[in-house]
Amino acid sequence: METLVIKLNQPEKAKLLMELLKSLDFISNVEYFDKYVKAKELLDEINKLASQTPLVEMTQEEIDEEISSYRHGK
């Protein structure tokens, strides 16, 4: 199997072509690739933020209190 990546500037204009290719089983996951790219970008942002945030050490009791207050909206 080969992968071909095509970036469409106006995907709505290629909708008929994409439906045709999908119906012929030429394309397996067109709609998922864009979601993957967006998800990867979000994960990269989260990792960047996490690497810039100092790590706080908490006891199990403090963790339980945080969870409890979050659940009860305190």
pTM of the model: 0.34
Range of the domain at 44: 11-71
- What does the pLDDT read at residue 31? 59
Residue 5 lies in a domain: no
Q: How do residues 33-48 score in pLDDT, each as one tens digit?
A: 666 777 788 888 888 8
Query: For residue 46, how far is the Cα from the chain centroid?
Result: 11
CA distances from 57 to 7, 29, 54, 62 (A): 44, 42, 10, 10
Residue 5: pLDDT over 80 = no
- Give percent helix, percent strand, percent coil of the chain, each to the nearest 5: 65, 0, 35
Domain count, the chain: 1
Residue 28 lies in a domain: yes
- What does the pLDDT read at residue 61? 92
Residue 1 lies in a domain: no
Name the maximum alpha-carbon separation found in the chain: 58
d(CA 34, CA 73): 35
Residue 3 lies in a domain: no
Helix (H, G, I), strand (E, B) or coil at 70: helix
